[in-house]
């Protein structure tokens, strides 16, 4: 069997890394020869989760894939600009994802499973059940961590009944109290004091092609919004520099309080792009806008922006 690499998106979060580990394990059990890799180093939250469940090393970081393999499997993403830089030079044989489908084109049939649930690991949990493959304790732990991360401990509006059921069952296999562990995990990802603005705006950032406009949406989790906003001017300057060098028409930084599930966004961009943004979310004052209840980029940010940019 020809070796394939399994990976999640750039700027990996706990779902991208955790589900890649889980899918690689499952596919190897089913007879494939795969290795879970990552398109970046784990963030603080993911590192916390990996350590908690006994993974001594994070998946190997790759910059390109075609130098190693002909075939790859994607989890937690499908849009080419979120994937490995040479994605056009390899064949995608499998995708498991929970996002919209955009600019994902293949020349041959493939396995593609997307479901509109809160986390790719919830779909992965269903695949383990379907193939009747037993989930080891550490894999259950990292999948649980992925769902806690993506759903903000089941409080995000993306959360479905299936996510809740998966969390309960995976917590049992992983032998943890998911409420207690979940808060610890989320808090592990909120330590922004030790990081520069450059790091923070790139930590969990994704690019979207919205009707030809290059839109960057970054998100950071905090437990103290006012503390984060003390760094507003430096954030804005850093975002402007990044937009200039990378060619973003709009840069949005979503700062989310993981304890009360509210966000404030910092936004910069061209006049035209800002007009579209305001069509979706209302007036931006001093490059800032309060977004009560907004915590999900996928469900609460990208769809209204997509509409507004049409």
The contact set with its own copies (CB under 8 A) reads 98-116, 130, 298-299, 302-303, 306-307
- For helices 161-174 and 137-150, give the axis angle rounded to 10 degrees: 140
Closest CB to its own copies among residues 116, 247: 116
Closest CB to its own copies among residues 66, 102: 102
Can you say how many angstroms the Cα of residue 248 is from the centroid of all Cα atoms in its chain? 20
Distances (CA, A) of 41 to 38, 58, 62, 203, 281: 7, 8, 10, 10, 33
Closest CB to its own copies among residues 31, 226: 31
Question: From the CB of 106, what's the least distance to its own copies, in Å?
Answer: 5
Question: From the CB of 72, what's the least distance to its own copies, in Å?
Answer: 15
* Residue 206 CA neighbour count, 13 Å, CB half: 23
Question: From the CB of 9, what's the least distance to its own copies, in Å?
Answer: 15
Q: Judge contact between 122 and 160, C-beta under 8 A.
A: yes
Closest CB to its own copies among residues 101, 193: 101
Question: From the CB of 156, what's the least distance to its own copies, in Å?
Answer: 13
SS3 sequence of 83-144: CCCCHHHCEEEEEEECCCCCCCCCCCCCEEEECCCCCHHHHHHHHHHHCCCCCCHHHHHHHH
Question: From the CB of 210, what's the least distance to its own copies, in Å?
Answer: 9
> What is the C-alpha separation between 231 and 264, in angstroms, rounded?
13
Q: Judge contact between 263 and 205, C-beta under 8 A.
A: no
Beta-carbon count within 10 A of 171 CB: 20
Closest CB to its own copies among residues 117, 268: 117
Closest CB to its own copies among residues 97, 197: 97
Question: From the CB of 93, what's the least distance to its own copies, in Å?
Answer: 8
């Amino acid at each position: 069997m020809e070796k394939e690499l399994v990976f999640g998106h750039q700027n990996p979060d706990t779902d991208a890394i955790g589900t890649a580990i889980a899918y690689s394990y499952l596919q190897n059990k089913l007879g494939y020869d795969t290795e879970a890799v990552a398109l970046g180093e784990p963030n603080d939250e993911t590192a916390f989760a990996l350590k908690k469940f006994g993974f001594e090393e994070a998946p190997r970081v790759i910059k390109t894939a075609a130098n190693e393999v002909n075939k790859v499997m994607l989890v937690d993403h499908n849009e080419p600009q979120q994937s490995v830089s040479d994605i056009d030079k390899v064949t995608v044989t499998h995708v498991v994802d929970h996002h919209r489908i955009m600019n994902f084109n293949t020349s041959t049939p493939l396995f593609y499973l997307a479901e509109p649930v809160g986390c790719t690991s919830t779909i992965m949990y269903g695949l383990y059940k379907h193939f009747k493959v037993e989930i080891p304790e550490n894999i259950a732990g990292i999948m649980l961590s992925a769902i806690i991360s993506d759903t903000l401990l089941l409080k995000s509006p993306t959360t479905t009944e299936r996510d809740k059921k998966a969390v309960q069952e995976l917590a049992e296999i992983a032998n943890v109290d998911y409420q207690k562990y979940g808060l610890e995990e989320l808090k592990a990802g909120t330590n922004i004091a030790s990081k520069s603005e450059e790091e923070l705006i790139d930590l969990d950032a994704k690019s979207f092609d919205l009707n030809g406009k290059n839109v960057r949406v970054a998100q950071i989790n905090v437990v103290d919004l006012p503390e984060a906003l003390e760094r507003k001017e430096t954030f804005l300057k850093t975002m402007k520099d990044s937009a200039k060098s990378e060619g973003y028409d709009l840069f949005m930084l979503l700062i989310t309080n993981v304890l009360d599930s509210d966000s404030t966004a910092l936004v910069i961009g061209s006049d035209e792009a800002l007009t579209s943004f305001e069509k979706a979310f209302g007036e931006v004052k001093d490059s800032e806008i309060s977004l009560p209840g907004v915590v999900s980029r996928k469900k609460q940010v990208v769809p209204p922006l997509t509409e507004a940019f049409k």
